[in-house]
Chain A
Amino acid sequence: NAGVTQTPKFQVLKTGQSMTLQCAQDMNHEYMSWYRQDPGMGLRLIHYSVGAGITDQGEVPNGYNVSRSTTEDFPLRLLSAAPSQTSVYFCASSSGQQSYNEQFFGPGTRLTVL
């Protein structure tokens, strides 16, 4: 199993540009989520999904859009990039919502918005 994969690893955007961060998992996990990690702020939840076709907002959803058309993929879209979205983005997945279910994280995408 490749686990949770993310592409690209690095990206530089100009203000106002749009892009999609890709996330895929091959563990047949129902639950997937996106976090951003910022110095002094820790990791914060952006959006999450409990299954194909079902998504919901997390703590910091503004400026981001998600969809979940398959179990494997959970892309994160930046609609109009802003410097405040410069961050490291992590995708995570979990097989269920029981207390014994771990969350597994991808390697991250480092995004800079100029």
Chain B
Amino acid sequence: KQEVTQIPAALSVPEGENLVLNCSFTDSAIYNLQWFRQDPGKGLTSLLLIQSSQREQTSGRLNASLDKSSGRSTLYIAASQPGDSATYLCAVRPGAQKLVFGQGTRLTINP
């Protein structure tokens, strides 16, 4: 059974720092991995999708990497801003339609 773990559960850093969020999964047989952002009381916003054949994807200040063999992904946020404060969710797609989610990392950027 695929399991996804995100560490740490919460992270607080000062504005301007570069930071890394971690995601690990137990089964390397995945279609893709998707990183989402969730603001309090809101839905999920897709940030980046990495296909199983890819090693990384970039969007603006965000860079996500994927190492299938070790079952790890990282989300790198450069020059963090208070507006980046949110919960970040990692999800892997082991089959055609199902996403398996981690429990998220709650990120706080302090001005």
Q: Which residues on the B side are within 8 Å of A105 (C-beta)?
A: 36, 43-46
Expressed in whole angstroms, the minimum distance between the Cβ of B74 and any Cβ of chain A is 19
15 more A-B residue pairs beyond the given contacts A43-B101, A48-B97, A99-B31, with a C-beta to C-beta distance below 8 A = A31-B97, A33-B97, A35-B99, A42-B4, A50-B97, A59-B98, A97-B31, A99-B51, A102-B34, A102-B49, A103-B34, A105-B36, A105-B46, A107-B42, A108-B43
Q: B97 and A42: CB pair below 8 A? A: no
Contact with B along A85-111 (1 / 0, CB 8 A): 000001010100111101111111010
Q: B44 and A100: CB pair below 8 A? A: no
Contact with A along B1-21 (1 / 0, CB 8 A): 000100000000000000000
Q: A99 and B43: CB pair below 8 A? A: no
Residues in chain B within 8 A of chain A (CB atoms): 4, 31-32, 34, 36, 41-46, 49, 51-53, 89, 91, 93, 96-99, 101-104
Interface residues of A in 58-114 (CB under 8 A from B): 58-59, 90, 92, 94, 97-100, 102-108, 110
For this complex, into which size category does the number of interface residues on chain A fall?
A: 20 to 34
* Residues A90 and B102 in contact in the complex (CB < 8 Å), given A31-B97, A50-B97: no
Residue of B nearest to A40 (CB): B103
Residues in chain A within 8 A of chain B (CB atoms): 31, 33, 35, 40-45, 48, 50, 56, 58-59, 90, 92, 94, 97-100, 102-108, 110
* Residues A42 and B101 in contact in the complex (CB < 8 Å), given A99-B31, A99-B53, A102-B49: yes
CA distance A44 to B89 in the complex (A): 13
Residue of A nearest to B50 (CB): A99
Q: A97 and B96: CB pair below 8 A? A: yes
Q: A42 and B34: CB pair below 8 A? A: no
Pairs across A and B, CB under 8 Å, 16 listed: A35-B99, A42-B102, A42-B103, A43-B89, A48-B97, A90-B44, A92-B99, A94-B97, A97-B96, A100-B49, A103-B34, A103-B91, A104-B46, A105-B43, A106-B43, A108-B43
